[in-house]
A = this chain, B = another copy of it.
Amino acid sequence: MAFVLTEEQTMLRDMAKDFFTEQVPVANLRKLRDEENADGYDKDVWKQIVELGFAGILIPEEHGGTGFGPMGLGIVMKEAGRTLAASPLYSTAVLGAGLIMAAGSDEQKAALLPNIAAGETLIALALEETNHHNPLNTAMTAEKSGDGFTLTGDKKFVIDGHIADTLIVVARTGGAAGDAQGLSMFLVDAKADGVSITRNHMVDSRNAASVSFGNVQVSADAVLGSLGGAYAELESSLDLARVCLAAEMLGGAETVFDTTLDYLKERKQFGVIIGTFQALKHRAAELFCEVEICQSVLLDALSALEERRNDTPRAASLAKARVGDALRLITNEGVQMHGGIGMTDAVDMGLFMKRARVQAQMLGDTNFHRTRYADLGGY
């Protein structure tokens, strides 16, 4: 287990930290929001991200990536989380690249991975159909039609859906909602006939879309992974994404904690620095413990992915749930300890809190993962 970063990983982290801190501070998200940017991300920033190799971090060198693996990706996502950096990194470099690498044919890999690494193709996973994450509940259908398939159904909470070039669509070729069997994945051109995409404006000012599929025709080679048996491939990619998301969340938790700690050291009330109040000190110390505990859980989950350990799903659920709980506590405390100004849009606490709640719902909240953790533990 790799609880200590290698020299290479440390360099990557420092590079990512410098980049996001300097080039993509929280102000960048504010600008996108206040200007009502239609893309929901900054194309110049994305270009820089690609140039730094972050888009291809999972992708092997033969396909134009840097092959840093999950640990590297987690390191970068954490730094992105520290500044709430909005970019297609999660949708494309984590979910997109992850799914294609896990389930794609050689042809699909060769066709898509280099474009992902080059930042030229944006991918979005169209998975959710209900208010709560649960892949088994997929009801959307893909019916055999000629050589190909006809896709019909509605997807929601499709991250980066309205900017994606290619959608990875999870649909049923068999079974019914609740079954693991019968799930398939399809690569669908976002501009295909019958695909209708509506951007949703979320509380975190980040991208999500509703996508409806009205008799969308795809050919047989659009199938990604095993027909009717995609659940395992999907789940393993989702675990990768869950851990990367936990990394992004922990990055946010760190910023909120650091900022709040600074505030405790400078804000005066009743003539004294509020950081001298013991009740606040103890709460700050407890938050510190939470952050530290989460670092361990995250590093373990990234190691599990890196080493393809059998307990990866459990480690992923532990990370998503434990970091999720900590982040909720820390963002709430961040606002409360800032007092009145914590409630204003002018300071960043609110932005982190809003983002935290969206992250909580992405790919399963604490309740989902606690239950899954117990399921996987055999009790």
Contact = CB atoms under 8 A, between A and B. Distances in A.
- The binding surface of chain A is classed by DSSP as helix
Interface string A270-290: 000000011101100000000
A269 to B, nearest CB: 13
6 contacts: A277-B278, A278-B278, A278-B279, A279-B279, A279-B281, A279-B282
Interface string A233-271: 000000000000000000000000000000000000000
A277 B279 CA distance: 8
A278 B277 CA distance: 7
A277 B282 CA distance: 11
Interface string A305-339: 00000000000000000000000000000000000
Interface residues of A, number: 5
A279 B277 CA distance: 8
A273 to B, nearest CB: 14
A277 B280 CA distance: 11
A283 to B, nearest CB: 8
Contacts of A279: 278-279, 281-282
A238 to B, nearest CB: 31
A316 B134 CA distance: 37
A104 to B, nearest CB: 45
A38 B282 CA distance: 48
A282 to B, nearest CB: 4
Contacts of A281: 279
A282 B279 CA distance: 7
Nearest to A281: B279
A277 B277 CA distance: 9
A281 B278 CA distance: 10
A302 B279 CA distance: 37
A171 B278 CA distance: 57
A135 to B, nearest CB: 27
A64 to B, nearest CB: 54
Contacts of A278: 277-279
| Nearest 6 Cβ contacts at the A-B interface | A278-B278, A278-B279, A279-B282, A279-B279, A277-B278, A279-B281
A279 B280 CA distance: 8
Residue among A277, A278, A281 facing the most chain B CB atoms (10 A cut-off): A278
Contacts of A282: 279
